[in-house]
């Protein structure tokens, strides 16, 4: 499992409230990713990080921000949660930049419900 | 960005049967990977296979990069093989971001 944990694992919140999801890794990987998974869409990239304080947007970044102040932690924040952000959120790490190490491993996921 | 199509979208098989899942890409890709999401939601990396063939137990995968497709073979299916199988790739033309297909849902019946 590449030592990836996510917290919380489940959260129910109300529209308009801020929400922060945490991804923690224990193996010092440089690249970390946040995806959301919705029925019929597979996994879609929200944001990713290629180092401390280095982040970039994915394909569905609107309404989300991220921060990475330490190698081991990558935070995803919904500034003002909306019902369309109800989803399962997965964090992933990338083990290397060259074959055969360039693979992604996923955390257990966080199920977020916005009422 | 690249488009990733997986087929079939759903597959129901009897335990012991063999299956072939397909992944087509709209453009050249590298870093092609297969994942299994079990019924509890956990995503497991099965193969990193940008080209050629790899085998791991009852599972094997083949990627023909020049023709932009990859196949995942599951032999002698077991109920624990149930779940959703995703393929994903990175465009050869930059951005280093994995694009996922929408998956094949496999159900193995005892």
pLDDT single digits (tens) B14-49: 999 999 999 999 988 878 999 999 999 999 999 999
Taking an 8 Å cut-off on Cβ atoms, the answer to whether B86 and A41 are in contact is: no
B4: chain A residues, CB-CB within 8 Å = 42
User: Do residues B2 and B29 lie in contact, with contact meaning Cβ atoms separated by under 8 Å?
Assistant: yes
A17 CA: distance to closest CA in chain B (Å): 26
Q: What is the CA radius of gyration of chain B?
A: 13
- Reference A4, options A84, A103, A108, A114; nearest CA is A108
* Chain B interface includes A5 (CB < 8 A): no
B36: Cβ–Cβ under 8 A, 6 or more apart, which residues?
Answer: B43, B44, B46, B81, B83, B84, B85, B86
CA distances from A12 to A15, A43, A92, A110, B54 (A): 10, 21, 22, 11, 42
Question: Would you call A96 helix, strand, or coil by DSSP?
Answer: coil
Rounded-to-integer distance, Cα B77 and Cα B72, Å: 13
State the best of B96, B101, B105 to mutate against chain A, taking most chain A CBs within 10 Å.
B96
Token pair recorded at residue B69: 């497709």
pLDDT single digits (tens) A80-114: 999 999 999 999 998 876 655 578 899 999 999 99
Rounded-to-integer distance, Cα B42 and Cα A42, Å: 14
A98: Cβ–Cβ under 8 A, 6 or more apart, which residues?
Answer: none
Residue in chain A nearest B48 by alpha carbon: A103
Taking an 8 Å cut-off on Cβ atoms, the answer to whether A106 and B98 are in contact is: no
pLDDT single digits (tens) B52-104: 999 999 999 999 999 999 999 999 999 999 999 999 988 777 667 888 999 99
């Amino acid at each position: 499992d590449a030592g990836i944990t996510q917290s919380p694992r489940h959260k129910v919140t109300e529209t308009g409230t801020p929400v922060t999801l945490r991804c923690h890794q224990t193996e010092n990987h440089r690249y970390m990713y946040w995806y959301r998974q919705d029925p019929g869409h597979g996994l879609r990239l929200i944001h990713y990080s290629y180092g401390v304080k280095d982040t970039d947007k994915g394909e569905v970044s609107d309404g989300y921000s991220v921060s990475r102040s330490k190698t081991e932690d990558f935070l995803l924040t919904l500034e003002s949660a909306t019902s369309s952000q109800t989803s399962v959120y997965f964090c992933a790490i990338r083990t290397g930049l060259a074959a055969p190490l360039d693979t992604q491993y996923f955390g257990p996921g966080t199920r977020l419900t916005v009422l | 960005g690249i488009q990733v199509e997986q087929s079939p979208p759903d597959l129901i098989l009897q335990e012991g049967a063999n299956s072939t899942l397909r992944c087509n890409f709209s453009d050249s890709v590298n870093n092609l990977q297969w994942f299994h999401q079990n019924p509890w939601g956990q995503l497991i990396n099965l193969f990193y296979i940008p080209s050629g063939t790899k085998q791991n137990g009852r599972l094997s995968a083949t990627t023909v990069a020049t023709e932009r497709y990859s196949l995942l073979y599951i032999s002698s299916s077991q109920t624990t093989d149930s779940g959703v199988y995703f393929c994903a790739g990175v465009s050869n033309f930059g951005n280093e971001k994995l694009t996922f297909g929408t998956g094949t849902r496999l159900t193995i019946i005892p």
